[in-house]
Amino acid sequence: MSIIRIDGGRRLYGTVSVHGAKNSVLPIMAAALLACGETVIHNCPNLSDVDAATRILVHLGCIVNREGAKVYVDSKTLTRSDIPHELMREMRSSVIFLGAIMARLGEAVLSLPGGCELGPRPIDLHLSALRAMGAEIDEEGGNIVCKAKSLKGCRINLAFPSVGATENVMLAAAKCAGTTIITNAACEPEIWDLQSYMRRLGIKVHGAGTSIITIEGCGQKGNTEHWVIPDRIVAATYMACAASSGGMIELTNVYPGHILAVTETLEEMGCEIKTGSDTILINADKPRKAVKPIITKPYPGFPTDAQPPVMAASLTADGTTVFVENIFENRYRHVAELRRMGADIKTEGRVAIVSGVKKLHGAPITSTDLRGGASLLVAALGAEGITEISGVAHIDRGYDDITGVLESLGADILKFD
C-alpha cells in the first residue's frame, strides 16, 4: 500500500500538460465494442481505471495493447457478453459496457458496479431506458441479466441528466432499429467526446452538449482513431494545488471553456487567471479570500468532481465559504481528514461551511475516494510540515503520475510503498 509524503509550504512554478479525460476514455473504451474493428485511442491517460476497463475488454475477447498514450482496441474478436463481479466492482464505469454489449450482442450479464463510495449510486435510469428500448432485464441478487431480440429506437426522458445513463443509451441505440431521442440528457463535455468517437464510426449522433441527443441506429465503419479531450477535473485540481501552495503554473493541453465555473471561483478567491485557446496561466501569489457559495450542478454548473479540491484550496482563505453538494449524497468524506490538518469545516447534510484558518498543519491522513484524495494533496501542499496520505490507490484511479507532476513543479513530495 503506497503512501504519499508531502512537506508542505513550497510554492509551485512551471508547466503541466493536462492528460486525457478519464471520464471520456472509459466510455470510449466501451464504445470501441461497436467498432467491430480496431480503434486507436490517443491521449489515453495511464490510470488504474483504464487498466480495469482493459481487463473487461480482454475478458470479453477483445485484443488491447498500449504504447505510451496510445491504446489499441480490436473488438472484432468479441466473444462473451458477461462481466464477472470481480471486474465490475473495480469501478463505476463498468456499467457503461452494458449498452455497448447489448448493441453488439443483444444480451449482457453483469453485476452492480463498484466505484467511489459517494452515497447510493443506483442505475435505475440506465435500466429503465434499456427497458423502454425493448430489453428484458432480470435483477437478481446483484446480478443483471439483460436480453433483447432487437432493441428499438424510442424517446427517452431522463428524470435526471445522468452522465452514465446518457452514455449507456447512446451506446445501446447505436445499432438498434429506428431513432432514439434522449431528452434531459447530460451535457458534460465527455458526452460530446463520446459523440465525436461514435461519429468516427459512422454512427449518426447529434445534439451532444445540449439536453437533446438523437441517435439513428446504423452500421459502423470498422477501424478508426480518436483523440480524447483533456481532463477538465485534472486541470481544476492542478489549479487548486497552485491556489493552495501559492506560485504560478501554466496548464497546457486544456480546454478553458470546459472549466469556466472553476476558473471564475478561483479568480474570485484572488488568483489571477489568463486563458489562451488551450492554455491556462494561474498566478496565486495574492492572499486568498472566501467566495460566494459553491453549489455543485450538472454541466455547465460547478462540477461535483472539483468540489473537494477547491474546498481544500478554500481552507486558509480569509472568511467563510459555503459549499452545497447537489450531485452525490455522500461527497464530504474528505472533510474528516482535512479537519485533522486543522481545517474548520462544519457539515449538515448537503451543506459544508468552511471558516478560513490562518494555516493548516501536516498530519497522517487517509484518502477515501478519488477526488477526496486529490483534496488531501491540495491541502497538504499549502500546509506547514509533513503530511502522509494513505489510500493512494483511490488517487491513482484518476490522476496519471500526480506525484511526478507536482515534484516537477517544485513540491517536496514522495510516493513510497
Site residues, ligand EPU (CB under 6 A): 22-23, 26, 92-93, 116, 120-126, 160, 162-165, 186, 188, 304-305, 327-328, 370-371, 398
Residue 116 annotated in active site: yes
In the complex, what is the shortest distance from the CB of residue 344 to ligand EPU, in angstroms, rounded to a whole number?
Answer: 25
In the complex, what is the shortest distance from the CB of residue 372 to ligand EPU, in angstroms, rounded to a whole number?
Answer: 9
In the complex, what is the shortest distance from the CB of residue 339 to ligand EPU, in angstroms, rounded to a whole number?
Answer: 22
Collapsing DSSP to helix, strand or coil, 103 comes out as helix
Tell me the residue ranges of DSSP E strands in 333-411: 344-348, 351-355, 364-366, 386-390
Backbone angles phi and psi of 365, in degrees to 5? -140, 165
The single residue of 36, 116, 146, 241 carrying the catalytic annotation is 116
Q: Apex CA 312: angle with CA 401 and CA 321, to 5°?
A: 155
Query: How far, in Å, CA of 118 to CA of 221, rounded?
Result: 38
Compute the residue count for the chain.
417
Q: Which residue is nearest to ligand EPU (CB)?
A: 164
Please give the order of strands across the beta sheet that includes 107-111: 107-111, 143-147, 136-140
The residue among 318 and 329 lying less far from ligand EPU, judged by its C-beta, is 329
The residue among 153 and 164 lying less far from ligand EPU, judged by its C-beta, is 164
The residue among 36 and 236 lying less far from ligand EPU, judged by its C-beta, is 236
Query: How far, in Å, CA of 12 to CA of 250, rounded?
Result: 10
Collapsing DSSP to helix, strand or coil, 184 comes out as coil
In the complex, what is the shortest distance from the CB of residue 139 to ligand EPU, in angstroms, rounded to a whole number?
Answer: 13
The residue among 191 and 363 lying less far from ligand EPU, judged by its C-beta, is 191
Residue 383, C-beta contacts closer than 8 angstroms, at least 6 positions apart: 6, 8, 9, 341, 342, 359, 360, 361, 362
The residue among 128 and 283 lying less far from ligand EPU, judged by its C-beta, is 128
In the complex, what is the shortest distance from the CB of residue 161 to ligand EPU, in angstroms, rounded to a whole number?
Answer: 7
Query: How far, in Å, CA of 115 to CA of 215, rounded?
Result: 28
Grid cell of 382 as nine digits: 499549502
Helix (H) or strand (E) holding 121: none
Question: Hey, which residues are catalytic here?
Answer: 116
